[in-house]
Structure 1
Amino acid sequence: MPQTVTLQREQTTDVYHHLGERLKETSLDICGMMFLYSNANPPQLEERVREILQHGSGLDDYEVLKDAQTRTLAILLPGLTLDAAHYQALLLKQQLQETVKDADPRITLAVFPGQVEPTPGVLKQMAESTKLSTSSDIHIFTKEEAAEEAGRILIVDNDATVREFLEIRLKMQGYETLAAHDGTSALELIEKWEPDLVLTELNLYGIDGLPFIHQIQQLPVDNTPKIVVLTEQRVEQTISQCFKHGVDDYVTKPFSPVELDARIHRCFH
């Protein structure tokens, strides 16, 4: 995988990771979350949004971040209920339509805590939903939409060909993927990106095998990812030790892609 692509994905992920952390850290009981997108992408849009919030909203506390990849603006509104956040969204929409040519803003709202957990994946899903919206009506994000969130899979393998094949196949099935070529970079990505599942070879550069499995399970993440081993190792004792150490499934190479699909699917259901 080209390094530039990996870095771009990590930077994008950090926007939603930061938002998730801020939502957890807020000392207030409730926090509004607004995503805003304009298909025309006027260059002054972000600046104008900040001006409106600063001078025309009556808000004392807010935070604006931009996801450069989806070109959406994320607006954190501490202390606002859904009704209050909706009112602010209406004001912002009206003023943008009046002052920014071709703005035609699309807005998605949610409030946390609520029916949806503010994971980085859910927040990114909100941003993408905003970008794909064809309606100018303000949209309230629901738990039903969050339930459709694609699972995140981190692929760990020394072989670039295997990584590329797995990424293409898993993306075609709707999963969100990243890849790492060794155990050390994989551990860093797990902590940053918080995947739902790690699909890993045991023979890796640096840390590998059972120590690598153990390190995954010791990481300070909210939800420890499930682990599916995809490896050339066929020793019965190794397989047994992996399951004893909490591995969810074990597949040997060469493997049937259809069988692997089924094994991964079972981990998500």
Structure 2
Amino acid sequence: MNAKQIESRFTEMGARMIVREIPSRWSHGDRRWFSPTDYAMDIQRDARGEFFELRVPSHLSAALEATVVQSVPRERHLLLMVRRSGQTPQLDRFLCGHDERDWFVAAVPGGVSSVRQAMEALQPRDVRIALARHQVSSRKRFARKNRAFRRQGEWFFVPEPTMTVDPGLILRNEPLRRGGGKPHLVEQLHRSGGETVHVCTRHPNGVSERVFRELLRTNPKAARWGWRVMRRNPGVFARGTVGHPDHATIDLPFWHRVLMNTENQSSTMRNVAFLD
């Protein structure tokens, strides 16, 4: 991997990039590499501020090749491709850039080959439909605010101006969170629909009612696993202020549908250590 060349392309857009090789550990019993098993893209901070970091385990140093597919220095964005050869070939794409106050890295789904395509790929389907419905120009379709949506970080807010909600079903100061990242705090939030699931530490993604009952039937001790009833994939709507430490607060005067970008649809997400 030509680390110097990659780092220079990040410098062109005003960012620092460090490619760092870290020692891999070998398990003699299982005869496999572990801790870490794969590379990671991250954003770190030192005395000089934020910087991008590509951490490469030593056992993968010869198998990884990173390439900047396209750089748009004026917009402070670039598309990075990481190719892994060997027994389990892998091709990952990352959109790296600056948003409002800080640098970010996002896993990009699909086979994009430009910064613009990457930004489009990160917009969920309902956002693209709203852009077409409101005939938003190509110049404004990636802005944080246009007729089709408001955006704060990875969250899109699509207007639903005629929507009404029973006041008793409105949650106050509710967090929106992706994984372990810092939450976006929503003044008023409403969840509707979705699938009822039972969640515990052993089943963090939840199991359906049918699976839950079958689990209790075959293993009565499972009743003591600290289950919670939650909704999976509900419709989420927000109104009022939405705040986050790394972003300017936005104000939604009426209800907006809440949609997350499409990072979680990309297998590349497993190689992103950065969380907003």
Common topology (TM > 0.5): no
Normalised TM-score (structure 2): 0.27
Q: Hey, which of these two has a bigger chunk of strand by percent?
A: 2
Q: TM-score, normalised by structure 1?
A: 0.27
Higher relative helix content = 1
